[in-house]
Amino acid sequence: MELKRSKWQLIVGSIILIFGLVLLAICDLAFLGMGIVLSGLMLIFIGIHWARKPKTELPSDERYIRINEKAGYNAFWTTMGILTVLVYVDFYFPLGLKFREFFMIVVGVGMFSFHVHRFYYNRKGFK
């Protein structure tokens, strides 16, 4: 296991984890503390995952960055389209959506469309 590639992820993840535990235990902010603890744990697990991969399995940097840029661009416009449609539908035909439901729909569509676009460009390539 080579920790040079993911050393910063492990350090920052540990700091975030400790900060979340402080918020959870001392400041009694349960919801915020658990969210920060979860994000710290995710960063630590990502660091461990990347440290365990052999160098031959790591993606080429330029291609990977370009695919993520194109996927992010297209996912952003997909998310903006869904947001626009939801705003107009809610304005003309009141659905009674609360902010949390509205937000979860938009974020879910954004994450899903990013992964779909990344999968598409990873298979197709880019021009």
Q: Tens digits of per-residue pLDDT, 14-73?
A: 888 888 888 888 887 778 888 888 888 888 888 888 777 776 666 667 878 888 888 889
Residue 60 pLDDT? 65
- Tell me which residue range forms the domain holding 109: 59-124
Q: Same structural domain for residues 38 and 12?
A: yes
Q: Three-class SS string for 20-87?
A: HHHHHHCCCCHHHHHHHHHHHHHHHHHHHHHHHCCHHHCCCHHHHHHHHHHHHHHHHHHHHHHHHHHH
How far is 20 from 35, CA to CA, in rounded Å? 8
Q: Same structural domain for residues 40 and 84?
A: no
Amino acid letter, 69: E
Residue 2 counted as domain residue: no
Q: Same structural domain for residues 41 and 91?
A: no
How far is 51 from 8, CA to CA, in rounded Å? 11
Q: Is the pLDDT of residue 124 over 80?
A: no
Q: Same structural domain for residues 108 and 70?
A: yes
pLDDT per position as a tens digit, 67-113: 888 888 999 999 999 888 888 888 888 888 788 888 888 888 989 99
What's the pLDDT band for 4 if we cut at 50, 70, 90?
A: low
Residue 75 counted as domain residue: yes
Q: Same structural domain for residues 39 and 23?
A: yes
Tokens, residue 9? 């992820």
127: DSSP letter: -
Q: Same structural domain for residues 29 and 77?
A: no
Give me the number of domains the chain comprises.
Answer: 2
Task: Give the SS3 label for residue 116.
Answer: helix
